Structure 1
Amino acid sequence: MFSKIGNLIFEHEAVARNSDFKMGLEIEMDRAYENGHLSMEPYPDTIGDAHSNPWITEDFLITMSEVVTPPADSPLDAMRYLYRINNALRNALAPGEILWSLSMPPIMPKEKSNELLADSTQEKRDFLIKLVKLHKGMAKFLPCGAHINLSIHDHIIKLIHSEMGDQFQSEQAVKDYLYMRLGQGFVRYRWIITYLFGASPIAEDNYFDVDQGPDHPVRCLRQTTRYGYGAKFLVDYTSIDKYITSIQNAVKNKLLIRDSEGQGPIRFRGGKDLDDLRNTGIQYLELRMLDLDPTSEIGIKTNTIRFLRLMASYFIMNPPLRQSEVNEALNRANQLNDEVASEDPSQFNHQFQARAFLSRLRLFVDQIQAGPDFEEVIQEMEERVEHPELTPSAKLVKHIKNGSLVEYAVKKGIQYQKSALIALRPFDGFDTSKQPTSDELKEYLFRKSFKY
């Protein structure tokens, strides 16, 4: 049964628009040597300055490159952006360098000095040094991942405001409500995303101190509370005001250095900081829980994005949690996510709940007649639920040799690097004093082949 908003979308034949999110992708990958060690090479000169290039930047480490796509009107366009910019980065690497295909970093130096930290600006470097000191080391911030930015189609916002003006006084009020529902939904079911896409079973040498890591492969080191991104506090997703207040209180209590650190698995974006977010409202949502997919040279696959789009559409059209139930439900969900992330990848103790959720999604696909692409995605995810050995982390475990995935990751990295180096038209437009705008980038990368 759809919610009131879901029925409105269905009756006004806006279901397709409800799945048609504007999308941006941010993919972090370490630069490494072909021997599996973290690269010591400087930021590639041919892709411009790390501070001025908005499309290829440094993240936590100098060697942690982040490819950022402009907002695209369709997921397919976003993937095409990502592929071409990723290709440009690979073509700029030094001889003997590769992009590391795993979320957990390559072999780190034994001594992790602050010289490893990104230095695009002095302000950023000072912040990172404080961050390392507060958290007693770098480990928490070393894993890479895939971030997905979703923006709800304007048609949906305008439709709900025009038909439910008594409930929503402005289009921005509609946005804030829908994005909060999406945030609650994704946090509530983050555990199934961790199960289906987790791909960080082990860490390489020098990541943990001696005897500090788990004694067996897990599903997703990056998402565990003990070893990964587990926060010292829980972000409040009840309302936009409580979301902002919970992060600001963490800063006041010195659990965080500044509010940009307290992002949680879902981040609401609007303006430069939380004060801007309070004034302007939520403009889009950022999903931050995905591991890199090592079987894709760009770190993510189309079916993964389809599944997340399907989840987002489902959360908008189906009844949300009651306001009084949100915190308790999301606290349970965080505990469940930690259990799933910490499991042996060959096991899954929550098949019943996963089957139930995927059954709901399959019913939703049938109700809205989403088409064969989404039917295919549901079938693939159902097979993963029934057969844990088909999940990414379980597949990676088979490639572990002597407690390491270096051989596998290097093989993948070299394979992807060779593919990029034979590209007929490698992009070299970043080697300028003025970096291209999104429109210029579109023209440079796709020329006449890109329809928009």
Structure 2
Amino acid sequence: MFSEIGQLIFDNEAVAKTSDFTMGLEIEMQRVDENGNFSQEPYPAAAGNEQTNPWITNDFLETMSEVVTPPAAHALDAMHYLFSINNALRSALSPGELLWPLSMPPRLPKDKSAIPLAKMGPEKEAYLKEWVKRHGFSAGTPCGAHINLSIDPHVFELVLDQMGDQFKSKVELQNYLYAKVAQGFLRYRWVITYLFGASPIAEANYFKSGEGPKKPIRSIRQSSHGFGNPFTGDYTNVQRYVDRIEKGVADGKLISDYEFHGAVRFKGNSHLKELPKTGINYLELRMLDLDPSSSVGIRTNTLRFIRLLASYFIMSPALNPDEVQKVIARSDKMNEAVSEEHPNDVSKYQANARAFLQSLEMYANRIQLGPEYQEELQDLQDRVENPLTTPSAKLLTHIKDGSLTDYALNRAKRYQQSALQSIRPFKGFENHAKLSANDLKHELFKGSWEPDKDKDQA
């Protein structure tokens, strides 16, 4: 079950460190009015300056609000931050404004120019205009939940201490382990799409007439109908990842390296070319639809599952470098097939998903994870056996006249009312150009809650 590194970690009773990932969250949601139309209100002033506030900002559209949490040591800590900042955003909204809880946007106006692109400075605005020219307006509007994961430093220290002869430096080890984890997530992305896909239909005017799926599917956003550029990355190692993106820019397939929005991104240096030398600091996972059953778009149990997957990938044998591209290409095809299945149908890869979750359960048992992980795995195994229990299938029961607008608005209003009843909503963003993570923690919680010591991610 374990690789050489995994066995070393296991033998030194350091397995817990492989699940102690520092985790940061980025959750996008569209601002809408009470009728389910894109909001015409300006960026909420009480949320601070959209160009300088790192915790509440915009992405693609002025109406696409993005809540960003500081890195936290545990899933619950990350969720504490997320709920508090999400509440701060909600309390800053204009009367009648709501946050749309679905990944796919509300109905689009026929005149797309009525919705302004994000005002994030001349350089970013020029990039967005070029992006729309290349890909169309609709493709930039889906929202998602992004997870930033960084490996506990103790893992690097242990491996370097015991296997230093196999790695020239800590940076080389970092790049190796992060690439290995990224390959694992890409290899089993289709499982995540099946278990958490929640974008079965698109609202009016998203697709041009005659385009798009003819029936509900598991996840429009995770399919080829969803967000962005079809450009594929090379995850064999960090240098090939960088070379592939730079070639895409040189060939005109990418506007800039920023445009690469693969399901996983290597993060660590703002200058992509320097990444192999300075090292990956964390992974950005971009493969989750918003969970509309949560006011903040994601659940704690989902974060625990992602942590479990990352730990499993660290401990398991790596792919042969010569096989990486082929395996990921096959997995991309599996993801496309799963994403386009009808949500009520048993997946054609049910047996594969069952076997993978059983392997995860054996791993969780062997490393003696707590009951919360066992319960989550049992719930996910139920989803594999009964597709009607998946998020996308549950959404089908709320479709009226080909739309989820009524469901989304009911949820949005309930979540907004709950947030406005908060005992002490945070009002501090409008008075601060840029709060540090420590200042934010102090201002948000005033000593009522103390997360584990924050760790830097970038």
**Pairwise same-fold verdict (TM > 0.5):** yes
Q: Which amino acid aligns with 1:30?
A: Q
Equivalent in the alignment of 1:403? 402
Q: Which amino acid aligns with 1:337?
A: N
Asked whether the equivalents of residues 28 and 144 of structure 1 are also in contact (C-alpha less than 8 Å), the reply is yes
Higher mean alpha-carbon deviation, 111-120 vs 420-429, is at 111-120
Equivalent in the alignment of 1:379? 378
Q: Report the Cα offset of residue 214 of structure 1.
A: 1.3
Equivalent of 1:294, from 292, 295, 311? Answer: 292
Equivalent in the alignment of 1:24? 24
Partner of 1:285, secondary structure, is strand
Equivalent in the alignment of 2:61? 61
Q: Report the Cα offset of residue 230 of structure 1.
A: 6.3
Equivalent in the alignment of 1:269? 267
Asked whether the equivalents of residues 234 and 325 of structure 2 are also in contact (C-alpha less than 8 Å), the reply is yes
Q: Which amino acid aligns with 1:142?
A: T
What number of residue pairs does the alignment pair up?
450
Is 2:325 the counterpart of 1:330? no
Structure 1 unaligned segments of length 5 or more: list them: none
Asked whether the equivalents of residues 260 and 273 of structure 1 are also in contact (C-alpha less than 8 Å), the reply is no
Partner of 1:223, secondary structure, is coil
Equivalent in the alignment of 2:455? none
Query: Counterparts of 1:362 and 1:344 in 2: how far apart (Å)?
Result: 27
Give the alignment of 1:287-366 within 5 angstroms: 287-347=285-345, 348-366=347-365
Please list the CA deviations of residues 115-137 of structure 1 after superposition, one character each: whole Å capped at 9, or x if unmatched: 521012111111000001112x1
Is 2:414 the counterpart of 1:388? no
Asked whether the equivalents of residues 175 and 276 of structure 2 are also in contact (C-alpha less than 8 Å), the reply is no
Equivalent in the alignment of 1:92? 92
Asked whether the equivalents of residues 140 and 228 of structure 2 are also in contact (C-alpha less than 8 Å), the reply is no
Please list the CA deviations of residues 89-130 of structure 1 after superposition, one character each: whole Å capped at 9, or x if unmatched: 000111111000000001111111285210121111110000
Partner of 2:266, secondary structure, is strand
Partner of 2:285, secondary structure, is strand
Equivalent in the alignment of 2:198? 199
Is 2:75 the counterpart of 1:71? no
Asked whether the equivalents of residues 239 and 276 of structure 2 are also in contact (C-alpha less than 8 Å), the reply is yes
Q: Report the Cα offset of residue 432 of structure 1.
A: 1.4
Q: Which amino acid aligns with 1:393?
A: S
Query: Counterparts of 1:82 and 1:276 in 2: how far apart (Å)?
Result: 31
Higher mean alpha-carbon deviation, 49-58 vs 115-124, is at 115-124
Partner of 2:147, secondary structure, is strand
Q: Percent identity?
A: 53
Q: Report the Cα offset of residue 438 of structure 1.
A: 0.6
CA change 1:230–1:327 in 2 (3 A) is farther
Query: Counterparts of 1:68 and 1:232 in 2: how far apart (Å)?
Result: 26
Is 2:33 the counterpart of 1:6? no
Query: Counterparts of 1:133 and 1:278 in 2: how far apart (Å)?
Result: 32
Query: Counterparts of 2:168 and 2:246 in 1: how far apart (Å)?
Result: 27
Equivalent in the alignment of 2:424? 425
Q: Report the Cα offset of residue 258 of structure 1.
A: 0.4
Partner of 2:296, secondary structure, is coil
The TM-score normalised by the length of structure 2 is 0.97
Q: Which amino acid aligns with 2:400?
A: K
Asked whether the equivalents of residues 223 and 230 of structure 1 are also in contact (C-alpha less than 8 Å), the reply is no
Q: Report the Cα offset of residue 143 of structure 1.
A: 0.3
Equivalent in the alignment of 1:122? 122
Q: Which amino acid aligns with 1:245?
A: D
Query: Counterparts of 1:248 and 1:114 in 2: how far apart (Å)?
Result: 34
Structure 2 unaligned segments of length 5 or more: list them: 453-458
Asked whether the equivalents of residues 49 and 433 of structure 2 are also in contact (C-alpha less than 8 Å), the reply is no
Query: Counterparts of 2:230 and 2:262 in 1: how far apart (Å)?
Result: 10
Q: Report the Cα offset of residue 354 of structure 1.
A: 0.3
Please list the CA deviations of residues 159-199 of structure 1 after superposition, one character each: whole Å capped at 9, or x if unmatched: 00111000012111111111000110000000000000000
Please list the CA deviations of residues 407-430 of structure 1 after superposition, one character each: whole Å capped at 9, or x if unmatched: 000000000000000111010110
Query: Counterparts of 1:50 and 1:139 in 2: how far apart (Å)?
Result: 22
Asked whether the equivalents of residues 147 and 289 of structure 1 are also in contact (C-alpha less than 8 Å), the reply is yes
Partner of 1:218, secondary structure, is coil
Let me know the Cα RMSD of the aligned residues: 1.1
Query: Counterparts of 1:81 and 1:446 in 2: how far apart (Å)?
Result: 9
The TM-score normalised by the length of structure 1 is 0.98
Query: Counterparts of 1:123 and 1:339 in 2: how far apart (Å)?
Result: 37
Query: Counterparts of 1:292 and 1:199 in 2: how far apart (Å)?
Result: 7
Equivalent in the alignment of 1:244? 242
Q: Report the Cα offset of residue 80 of structure 1.
A: 0.3
Query: Counterparts of 2:41 and 2:228 in 1: how far apart (Å)?
Result: 31
Q: Which amino acid aligns with 1:443?
A: H
Equivalent in the alignment of 2:436? 437
Query: Counterparts of 1:293 and 1:115 in 2: how far apart (Å)?
Result: 25
Equivalent in the alignment of 1:110? 110
Query: Counterparts of 1:433 and 1:293 in 2: how far apart (Å)?
Result: 31
Asked whether the equivalents of residues 242 and 272 of structure 2 are also in contact (C-alpha less than 8 Å), the reply is yes
Equivalent in the alignment of 1:52? 52
Partner of 1:26, secondary structure, is strand
Query: Counterparts of 2:197 and 2:444 in 1: how far apart (Å)?
Result: 31
Asked whether the equivalents of residues 179 and 238 of structure 2 are also in contact (C-alpha less than 8 Å), the reply is yes
Query: Counterparts of 1:196 and 1:34 in 2: how far apart (Å)?
Result: 30
Is 2:136 the counterpart of 1:140? no
